[in-house]
A and B are shown apart, each in its own frame.
Chain A
Amino acid sequence: MSRPDPLTRLIEQLQRLPGIGAKGAQRLAFHVLKTPREDVERLVDALREVKDRVTYCSTCSNITETDPCFYCTDDSRDHRMICVVEEPENVTAVEKTRDFKGLYHVLMGALSPLHGVGPDDLKIKGLLERVGKGGVEEVILATNPNVEGEATAIYLAKLLKPLGVRVTRIAMGVPVGSDLEYADEVTMHKAMEGRREV
């Protein structure tokens, strides 16, 4: 018996998701087939709503429902400080520490020669424009404490310093080689507190 086309298409689409292989996609597809119609519709709605309502902030590239985002428009935050992170998830990690009251800039990755990610693939131009406009006094580089994150931080520091801004790098209290996405509050707090000028 050959497999109905719609099922094949679903498996193909699921397989394109990160971390899902052929077997996983097949398992999920058969799960969808068994699931009551209302549940599937809720999933479809959620997917559509994410694409309709959630976007990236045109200033800092964080994920947001309104553009510019909540952080960029909040006057009670310190607009003289920008914390640079690799991914939107890292904003959450820094926010958890409750020490940082400045703004963010999400690079959408790190420089990765191995994976073909270069400066033009990251939101670096936007960062330089923000700092170039003036009013920013400190840029905190909170990229991951691994080879790629460090290369990114050094690369950015070289571009930012001529703009007359203080550039700092978070302390390596975060285990070297780790991913900030998984750092706990205490570690993240120590990293921010112990940041040093570069």
Chain B
Amino acid sequence: MPVYTSEALILRTYKLGEADRIVVFLTRDRGKKRGVAKGARRARSKFIGALEPMTCGGVAYYEREQRDLVRINYIEPSRSPLSAIGGSADLLGHVGYFAELIDEWAQEAHADERLYRLGSSMTDAIAQGAPVERLARYFEYWILRLQGVYPAIAGCPGCGEVFEHGAVMPPRDDVFLCRTCAPPAGGSALGSEALQFLKSCGAIAPDRLGSLPLGTRAAREIETVHRRLLNLHLDKELRSTRVLREMRK
């Protein structure tokens, strides 16, 4: 039974039997795995503090023949969202949101190092108490882009014009058009501030989001188009999205 060690990102856990947990984690080099952490729920378990969603660290596990579940030997957390304890409920709530989105897109047995790196950079940003709204929009931009489904934001595919005064995502479509090419009614608009923010997202690391301005209105515009893109490509609404919405009420 070969033992693998890898950097990994914990995505979620489920209770298993009396005292164990099933752990879903994204390895840097071998895709998403599901494994058993024996005794993880006991008071003095070696896994305590290591299984929060979005924990980054070294994981050792071995695969068993003809079993879907790997067996986890240890997890050595290097960075953890537990450092954000004391932050806002919204920030802590987003830990689950980030984890759910990565879990939705990560594939088993298919390494995706860029997705792993995006996830681990989120953990750093959370631990540093990054502005949560900007961080969430940044994360959505990147996860959609890594999946190759982010529409072009440089210019209008209809007429080739560079977006100067904002763009519109028409209803039932997933591209950005200029206001001339977009149908006269409906759709989700992005103002120039929102577009500027998205362009900057493509060029900076998440720990620098604090210096990137984003007003409430522009943030709402981006959230709306991202929600539409995510629902379209995942073909459903995420559970965490509903919970975060309820928490904000």
Determine the chain B residues whose CB is within 8 A of the CB of A74 once the complex forms. Answer: none
Q: Is A154 in contact with B92, judged by CB distance below 8 angstroms? A: yes
Closest CB-CB distance, B13 to chain A, in whole Å? 9
Q: Which of A6-14, A40-48, A54-62, A171-179 contacts B (4 or more CB under 8 A)?
A: A171-179
Q: Is B16 in contact with A19, judged by CB distance below 8 angstroms? A: yes
Determine the chain B residues whose CB is within 8 A of the CB of A147 once the complex forms. Answer: 52-53, 81-82, 84-85, 92, 95-96
Q: Is B51 in contact with A177, judged by CB distance below 8 angstroms? A: yes
Cα of A149 to Cα of B52 in the assembled complex, Å: 11
Q: Which residue of B is nearest A184, CB measured?
A: B43
Cα of A184 to Cα of B44 in the assembled complex, Å: 10
The A/B interface has a contact count, at CB < 8 Å, of 97
Cα of A6 to Cα of B48 in the assembled complex, Å: 42
Cα of A60 to Cα of B170 in the assembled complex, Å: 50
A162: Cβ under 8 A from any B Cβ: no
Closest CB-CB distance, B216 to chain A, in whole Å? 19
Closest CB-CB distance, B224 to chain A, in whole Å? 19
Chain A interface extent, by class: 20 to 34
B165: Cβ under 8 A from any A Cβ: no
Cα of A178 to Cα of B48 in the assembled complex, Å: 6
Asked if A151 meets B92 with Cβ closer than 8 Å, knowing A119-B247, A177-B49, the reply is yes
Q: Which of B25-33, B181-189, B236-244 contacts A (4 or more CB under 8 A)?
A: B236-244
Q: Is B89 in contact with A175, judged by CB distance below 8 angstroms? A: no
Q: Is A117 in contact with B243, judged by CB distance below 8 angstroms? A: yes
Give chain B's interface residues, CB within 8 Å of chain A.
Answer: 12, 15-18, 41-43, 48-53, 80-82, 84-89, 92-97, 99-100, 239-240, 242-244, 246-247, 249
Give chain A's interface residues, CB within 8 Å of chain B.
Answer: 18-19, 111-120, 145-148, 150-152, 154-155, 158, 172, 175-179, 181-184, 187
The 4 closest A-B pairs by CB, nearest first: A177-B49, A113-B96, A113-B240, A116-B239
